[in-house]
Structure 1
Amino acid sequence: MKIAIIGYSGSGKSTLAGRLGEFYDCPVLYLDKIQFEANWIERDEESAKAMVKRFLDENNSWIIDGNYTKFYREQRMEEADIIIFMDYPRLVCLFQAYKRYLKYKGKTRESVAPDCNEKLDFEFIRWILLDGRSKEKKNQYIETIQKYSHKIAVLKNRKETDSFLKELMMR
Protein backbone atom coordinates (compact mmCIF):
# COMPACT_ATOMS: atom_id res chain seq x y z
CA MET A 1 0.00 0.00 0.00
CA LYS A 2 1.25 3.47 -0.88
CA ILE A 3 -0.50 6.44 0.69
CA ALA A 4 0.29 10.12 0.15
CA ILE A 5 -1.11 12.53 2.73
CA ILE A 6 -1.34 16.19 1.80
CA GLY A 7 -3.17 19.11 3.33
CA TYR A 8 -3.03 22.18 5.48
CA SER A 9 -0.63 22.69 8.39
CA GLY A 10 -2.23 21.64 11.64
CA SER A 11 -4.79 19.38 9.96
CA GLY A 12 -3.36 16.17 11.42
CA LYS A 13 -1.35 14.80 8.48
CA SER A 14 1.51 13.50 10.61
CA THR A 15 -0.76 11.91 13.20
CA LEU A 16 -2.71 10.15 10.47
CA ALA A 17 0.49 9.06 8.74
CA GLY A 18 1.79 7.51 11.95
CA ARG A 19 -1.44 5.63 12.58
CA LEU A 20 -1.55 4.30 9.03
CA GLY A 21 2.11 3.33 9.16
CA GLU A 22 1.47 1.27 12.28
CA PHE A 23 -1.66 -0.32 10.83
CA TYR A 24 -0.05 -1.28 7.51
CA ASP A 25 3.33 -1.98 9.12
CA CYS A 26 5.12 0.07 6.49
CA PRO A 27 7.63 2.90 6.59
CA VAL A 28 6.47 6.47 7.05
CA LEU A 29 8.33 9.41 5.55
CA TYR A 30 7.62 12.77 7.14
CA LEU A 31 8.73 15.39 4.63
CA ASP A 32 9.31 17.94 7.41
CA LYS A 33 12.13 15.62 8.57
CA ILE A 34 13.61 15.91 5.09
CA GLN A 35 13.12 19.67 4.69
CA PHE A 36 14.72 20.54 8.03
CA GLU A 37 17.81 19.53 9.92
CA ALA A 38 18.30 20.15 13.65
CA ASN A 39 17.03 23.46 15.03
CA TRP A 40 14.77 24.13 12.02
CA ILE A 41 17.67 24.72 9.63
CA GLU A 42 16.67 24.02 6.04
CA ARG A 43 18.48 21.08 4.51
CA ASP A 44 20.34 21.47 1.21
CA GLU A 45 17.71 20.87 -1.48
CA GLU A 46 19.74 18.40 -3.53
CA SER A 47 20.57 16.17 -0.58
CA ALA A 48 16.93 16.39 0.58
CA LYS A 49 15.71 15.33 -2.86
CA ALA A 50 18.18 12.45 -2.86
CA MET A 51 16.80 11.25 0.48
CA VAL A 52 13.24 11.25 -0.84
CA LYS A 53 14.24 9.56 -4.09
CA ARG A 54 16.07 6.83 -2.18
CA PHE A 55 12.99 6.28 0.02
CA LEU A 56 10.72 6.00 -3.03
CA ASP A 57 13.10 3.62 -4.81
CA GLU A 58 13.76 1.36 -1.81
CA ASN A 59 10.21 0.82 -0.54
CA ASN A 60 7.37 -1.15 -2.11
CA SER A 61 4.88 0.29 0.32
CA TRP A 62 4.95 3.59 2.17
CA ILE A 63 3.09 6.43 3.80
CA ILE A 64 4.36 9.91 2.91
CA ASP A 65 3.23 12.94 4.89
CA GLY A 66 3.72 16.36 3.35
CA ASN A 67 3.06 18.82 0.59
CA TYR A 68 6.51 19.77 -0.67
CA THR A 69 6.27 19.94 -4.45
CA LYS A 70 10.05 19.89 -4.86
CA PHE A 71 10.27 16.41 -3.34
CA TYR A 72 9.00 14.35 -6.28
CA ARG A 73 5.42 15.41 -5.70
CA GLU A 74 4.21 14.21 -9.08
CA GLN A 75 5.88 10.81 -8.66
CA ARG A 76 4.41 10.47 -5.16
CA MET A 77 0.91 11.26 -6.42
CA GLU A 78 1.27 8.90 -9.40
CA GLU A 79 2.55 5.98 -7.31
CA ALA A 80 0.12 6.42 -4.41
CA ASP A 81 -2.74 3.96 -4.20
CA ILE A 82 -4.61 6.53 -2.13
CA ILE A 83 -4.10 10.28 -1.78
CA ILE A 84 -5.57 11.79 1.35
CA PHE A 85 -6.19 15.54 1.33
CA MET A 86 -6.70 16.95 4.83
CA ASP A 87 -8.93 19.94 4.01
CA TYR A 88 -9.73 21.11 7.54
CA PRO A 89 -10.91 24.69 8.16
CA ARG A 90 -8.19 27.16 9.09
CA LEU A 91 -9.45 27.78 12.64
CA VAL A 92 -9.57 24.05 13.33
CA CYS A 93 -6.00 23.77 12.05
CA LEU A 94 -4.91 26.66 14.28
CA PHE A 95 -6.61 25.09 17.30
CA GLN A 96 -4.99 21.71 16.62
CA ALA A 97 -1.58 23.36 16.14
CA TYR A 98 -2.06 25.15 19.46
CA LYS A 99 -2.97 21.89 21.22
CA ARG A 100 0.09 20.26 19.64
CA TYR A 101 2.24 23.14 20.84
CA LEU A 102 0.99 22.72 24.41
CA LYS A 103 1.61 18.98 24.29
CA TYR A 104 5.12 19.17 22.79
CA LYS A 105 6.37 22.55 24.02
CA GLY A 106 10.15 22.25 24.46
CA LYS A 107 10.11 18.78 22.87
CA THR A 108 10.61 17.33 19.41
CA ARG A 109 7.87 15.31 17.73
CA GLU A 110 8.65 12.13 15.81
CA SER A 111 7.58 13.79 12.56
CA VAL A 112 10.29 16.48 12.58
CA ALA A 113 14.07 16.44 12.64
CA PRO A 114 15.95 16.05 15.94
CA ASP A 115 16.19 19.23 18.02
CA CYS A 116 13.34 20.89 16.13
CA ASN A 117 11.40 21.76 19.24
CA GLU A 118 7.72 22.50 18.82
CA LYS A 119 6.96 26.14 18.21
CA LEU A 120 3.95 28.29 17.54
CA ASP A 121 5.19 31.70 16.51
CA PHE A 122 3.60 34.52 14.53
CA GLU A 123 5.13 33.24 11.28
CA PHE A 124 3.59 29.79 11.70
CA ILE A 125 0.21 31.19 12.76
CA ARG A 126 0.25 33.41 9.67
CA TRP A 127 1.10 30.34 7.56
CA ILE A 128 -1.83 28.37 9.00
CA LEU A 129 -4.34 31.20 8.59
CA LEU A 130 -3.16 32.97 5.43
CA ASP A 131 0.00 32.12 3.53
CA GLY A 132 -0.53 28.35 3.55
CA ARG A 133 -3.94 28.94 2.00
CA SER A 134 -2.85 31.24 -0.78
CA LYS A 135 -4.50 31.04 -4.18
CA GLU A 136 -1.45 29.18 -5.48
CA LYS A 137 -1.67 26.57 -2.70
CA LYS A 138 -5.41 26.12 -3.17
CA ASN A 139 -4.90 25.71 -6.92
CA GLN A 140 -2.32 22.97 -6.31
CA TYR A 141 -4.84 21.06 -4.21
CA ILE A 142 -7.63 21.59 -6.73
CA GLU A 143 -5.35 20.37 -9.51
CA THR A 144 -4.49 17.25 -7.50
CA ILE A 145 -8.14 16.56 -6.71
CA GLN A 146 -9.10 16.86 -10.36
CA LYS A 147 -6.16 14.88 -11.75
CA TYR A 148 -6.38 12.04 -9.24
CA SER A 149 -10.10 12.04 -8.45
CA HIS A 150 -10.19 8.26 -8.85
CA LYS A 151 -7.94 7.75 -5.84
CA ILE A 152 -8.30 10.81 -3.63
CA ALA A 153 -10.11 11.13 -0.33
CA VAL A 154 -10.90 14.66 0.81
CA LEU A 155 -11.34 14.81 4.58
CA LYS A 156 -12.81 18.01 6.02
CA ASN A 157 -13.03 17.23 9.73
CA ARG A 158 -12.16 14.69 12.42
CA LYS A 159 -15.46 12.81 12.03
CA GLU A 160 -14.80 12.24 8.30
CA THR A 161 -11.22 11.24 9.09
CA ASP A 162 -12.31 8.73 11.72
CA SER A 163 -14.93 7.23 9.37
CA PHE A 164 -12.41 7.02 6.54
CA LEU A 165 -9.85 5.34 8.80
CA LYS A 166 -12.39 2.81 9.98
CA GLU A 167 -13.37 2.02 6.38
CA LEU A 168 -9.74 1.82 5.22
CA MET A 169 -8.77 -0.52 8.02
CA MET A 170 -11.65 -2.88 7.18
CA ARG A 171 -10.46 -3.39 3.60
Structure 2
Amino acid sequence: MKIILLGNAGSGKSTLAKRLLDRQPAARLSLDRVAFREGAERRPLAESVAEVRRFIDTHRHWIIEGCYADIIEAILPACEELIFLNPGIEACAAHCRSRPWEPEKFATREAQDAHLEALIAWVRTYETRDDDYGLSRHRALFDGFLGRKMELYDPSEYASMLGLE
Protein backbone atom coordinates (compact mmCIF):
# COMPACT_ATOMS: atom_id res chain seq x y z
CA MET A 1 0.00 0.00 0.00
CA LYS A 2 1.41 3.34 -1.13
CA ILE A 3 -1.43 5.85 -1.06
CA ILE A 4 -1.60 9.62 -1.29
CA LEU A 5 -4.70 11.36 0.04
CA LEU A 6 -5.18 14.81 -1.49
CA GLY A 7 -7.79 17.43 -0.63
CA ASN A 8 -8.76 20.68 1.05
CA ALA A 9 -8.37 21.16 4.79
CA GLY A 10 -11.30 19.44 6.44
CA SER A 11 -11.96 17.09 3.51
CA GLY A 12 -11.45 14.01 5.68
CA LYS A 13 -7.87 13.03 4.81
CA SER A 14 -6.74 12.24 8.36
CA THR A 15 -9.93 10.39 9.22
CA LEU A 16 -9.75 8.29 6.07
CA ALA A 17 -6.05 7.58 6.65
CA LYS A 18 -6.89 6.19 10.09
CA ARG A 19 -9.64 3.99 8.61
CA LEU A 20 -7.25 2.66 5.95
CA LEU A 21 -4.67 1.92 8.65
CA ASP A 22 -7.26 -0.12 10.55
CA ARG A 23 -7.44 -2.38 7.49
CA GLN A 24 -3.72 -2.63 6.80
CA PRO A 25 -0.89 -1.40 9.00
CA ALA A 26 1.33 1.16 7.31
CA ALA A 27 3.30 4.26 8.14
CA ARG A 28 1.38 7.54 7.95
CA LEU A 29 2.73 10.99 7.18
CA SER A 30 0.77 14.21 7.32
CA LEU A 31 2.44 16.73 5.04
CA ASP A 32 1.65 19.43 7.62
CA ARG A 33 4.57 17.96 9.57
CA VAL A 34 7.11 18.54 6.80
CA ALA A 35 5.74 21.66 5.11
CA PHE A 36 6.39 24.22 7.84
CA ARG A 37 9.04 25.36 10.26
CA GLU A 38 7.96 26.58 13.69
CA GLY A 39 4.86 28.71 13.25
CA ALA A 40 3.51 29.52 9.80
CA GLU A 41 6.80 29.82 7.88
CA ARG A 42 6.87 27.43 4.96
CA ARG A 43 10.06 25.39 4.61
CA PRO A 44 11.88 25.43 1.28
CA LEU A 45 10.20 22.94 -1.03
CA ALA A 46 13.41 20.94 -1.52
CA GLU A 47 13.69 20.36 2.25
CA SER A 48 10.10 19.18 2.51
CA VAL A 49 10.42 16.87 -0.49
CA ALA A 50 13.68 15.41 0.82
CA GLU A 51 12.03 14.61 4.15
CA VAL A 52 9.08 12.93 2.42
CA ARG A 53 11.44 10.90 0.23
CA ARG A 54 13.29 9.71 3.36
CA PHE A 55 9.93 8.64 4.79
CA ILE A 56 9.06 6.76 1.58
CA ASP A 57 12.48 5.09 1.48
CA THR A 58 12.18 3.80 5.05
CA HIS A 59 8.65 2.36 4.83
CA ARG A 60 7.37 -0.42 2.61
CA HIS A 61 3.71 0.54 3.08
CA TRP A 62 2.58 4.11 3.62
CA ILE A 63 -0.16 6.69 3.47
CA ILE A 64 0.73 10.31 2.86
CA GLU A 65 -1.95 12.96 3.27
CA GLY A 66 -2.04 16.65 2.59
CA CYS A 67 -3.10 19.64 0.54
CA TYR A 68 0.39 20.63 -0.67
CA ALA A 69 0.31 20.06 -4.43
CA ASP A 70 3.94 21.14 -4.82
CA ILE A 71 5.16 18.42 -2.43
CA ILE A 72 2.75 15.81 -3.75
CA GLU A 73 3.72 16.47 -7.35
CA ALA A 74 7.36 15.68 -6.51
CA ILE A 75 6.54 12.33 -4.88
CA LEU A 76 3.56 11.27 -6.98
CA PRO A 77 5.56 8.75 -9.05
CA ALA A 78 6.18 6.74 -5.86
CA CYS A 79 2.50 6.19 -5.07
CA GLU A 80 0.31 3.30 -6.18
CA GLU A 81 -3.00 5.08 -5.64
CA LEU A 82 -4.11 8.70 -5.50
CA ILE A 83 -7.34 9.47 -3.66
CA PHE A 84 -8.76 12.96 -4.12
CA LEU A 85 -11.22 13.91 -1.38
CA ASN A 86 -13.50 16.61 -2.76
CA PRO A 87 -16.62 16.86 -0.58
CA GLY A 88 -17.27 20.57 -1.12
CA ILE A 89 -16.63 23.68 0.92
CA GLU A 90 -19.48 23.31 3.42
CA ALA A 91 -18.50 19.75 4.35
CA CYS A 92 -14.87 20.84 4.82
CA ALA A 93 -15.88 23.78 7.02
CA ALA A 94 -18.13 21.54 9.12
CA HIS A 95 -15.33 19.00 9.56
CA CYS A 96 -12.96 21.76 10.69
CA ARG A 97 -15.50 22.86 13.31
CA SER A 98 -15.95 19.32 14.62
CA ARG A 99 -12.38 18.04 14.50
CA PRO A 100 -10.83 16.89 17.74
CA TRP A 101 -7.81 18.60 19.24
CA GLU A 102 -4.68 17.88 17.18
CA PRO A 103 -1.83 17.88 19.73
CA GLU A 104 0.74 17.35 16.96
CA LYS A 105 -0.23 20.78 15.58
CA PHE A 106 -1.32 22.80 18.63
CA ALA A 107 -0.13 22.87 22.25
CA THR A 108 -3.69 23.14 23.58
CA ARG A 109 -7.26 22.81 22.40
CA GLU A 110 -7.66 26.53 23.10
CA ALA A 111 -4.76 27.36 20.76
CA GLN A 112 -6.36 25.24 18.04
CA ASP A 113 -9.74 26.92 18.57
CA ALA A 114 -8.10 30.36 18.35
CA HIS A 115 -7.09 29.53 14.76
CA LEU A 116 -10.42 28.00 13.75
CA GLU A 117 -12.10 30.98 12.11
CA ALA A 118 -8.97 31.80 10.07
CA LEU A 119 -8.80 28.16 8.96
CA ILE A 120 -12.45 28.15 7.90
CA ALA A 121 -12.01 31.42 6.00
CA TRP A 122 -9.06 29.82 4.18
CA VAL A 123 -11.05 26.62 3.48
CA ARG A 124 -13.82 28.71 1.93
CA THR A 125 -11.38 30.09 -0.70
CA TYR A 126 -10.48 26.60 -1.96
CA GLU A 127 -12.36 26.89 -5.24
CA THR A 128 -10.89 30.30 -6.12
CA ARG A 129 -7.29 29.99 -4.93
CA ASP A 130 -4.67 29.56 -7.63
CA ASP A 131 -1.92 28.42 -5.27
CA ASP A 132 -0.62 24.94 -4.45
CA TYR A 133 -3.46 24.42 -1.95
CA GLY A 134 -6.39 25.22 -4.23
CA LEU A 135 -8.86 23.15 -6.20
CA SER A 136 -7.42 24.02 -9.62
CA ARG A 137 -3.98 22.71 -8.65
CA HIS A 138 -5.42 19.60 -6.98
CA ARG A 139 -7.60 18.93 -10.02
CA ALA A 140 -4.58 19.23 -12.35
CA LEU A 141 -2.58 16.75 -10.25
CA PHE A 142 -5.46 14.30 -10.11
CA ASP A 143 -6.34 14.56 -13.79
CA GLY A 144 -2.70 14.20 -14.84
CA PHE A 145 -2.00 11.13 -12.70
CA LEU A 146 -1.97 8.01 -14.87
CA GLY A 147 -2.02 5.45 -12.07
CA ARG A 148 -4.90 4.08 -10.00
CA LYS A 149 -6.98 6.96 -8.71
CA MET A 150 -10.33 7.75 -7.20
CA GLU A 151 -12.19 10.99 -6.48
CA LEU A 152 -14.58 10.88 -3.55
CA TYR A 153 -17.30 13.45 -2.93
CA ASP A 154 -19.39 12.23 0.00
CA PRO A 155 -17.58 11.73 3.33
CA SER A 156 -20.33 9.40 4.54
CA GLU A 157 -19.44 7.08 1.66
CA TYR A 158 -15.62 7.20 1.84
CA ALA A 159 -15.33 4.00 3.85
CA SER A 160 -17.85 2.01 1.81
CA MET A 161 -16.36 3.17 -1.52
CA LEU A 162 -12.99 1.80 -0.39
CA GLY A 163 -14.41 -1.42 1.04
CA LEU A 164 -13.62 -0.44 4.63
CA GLU A 165 -17.03 -1.32 6.05
Q: Considering the TM-score relative to the shorter chain, is it more than 0.5? A: yes
Q: Report deviation, 1:41.
A: 4.3
Q: Following superposition of structure 1 onto structure 2, how do residues 146-165 of structure 1 map, counting pairs within 5 Å?
A: 146-148=143-145, 150-165=147-162
Shift of 1:155: 0.6
Q: Alignment partner for residue 123 of structure 1, among 118, 129, 134?
A: 118
The answer (yes or no) to whether the contact 1:27–1:61 under 8 Å persists in 2 is yes
Q: Give a deviation string over 1:122-148, Cα, whole Å, max 9, x none.
A: 321211111x33252222222223222
Q: CA deviation at 1:37?
A: 5.0
Structure 2 counterpart of 1:89: 88
Instruction: Give the TM-score taking structure 2 as reference length.
Output: 0.80
Give secondary structure in 1 for the equivalent of 2:76.
Answer: helix
Amino acid at match of 1:68: Y
Look up the match of 2:79: 80
Q: Could you say which structure has the higher helix fraction?
A: 1
- Given candidates 109, 128, 133, the residue that maps to 1:134 is 128
Question: What letter corresponds to residue 24 of structure 1 in structure 2?
Answer: Q
How far apart are the structure 2 equivalents of 1:17 and 1:113?
Answer: 17
Equivalent pairs: percent with the same residue? 26
- Give 1:89 deviation, angstroms: 1.2
Q: Return the letter of the residue paired with 1:115.
A: A
Task: Look up the SS of the partner of 1:154 in the other structure.
Answer: strand
What's the counterpart of residue 16 of structure 2?
16
Structure 2 partner of 1:49: 49
* Deviates further, 134-143 or 90-99: 134-143
- The answer to whether the Cα contact below 8 Å between 1:4 and 1:76 also exists between their aligned partners in 2 is no
Unaligned runs of 5+ in 2: none
Q: RMSD between aligned alpha carbons?
A: 2.5
Contact 2:4 2:65 in 1 (8 A): yes
* TM-score (normalizing by structure 1): 0.78
| Alpha-carbon displacement from aligned partner over 1:83-106 (angstroms, at most 9, x marks no partner) | 111101111111111011xx42xx
Residues 50/149 of structure 1: CA separation in 2 closer, same or farther (3 Å cut) = closer
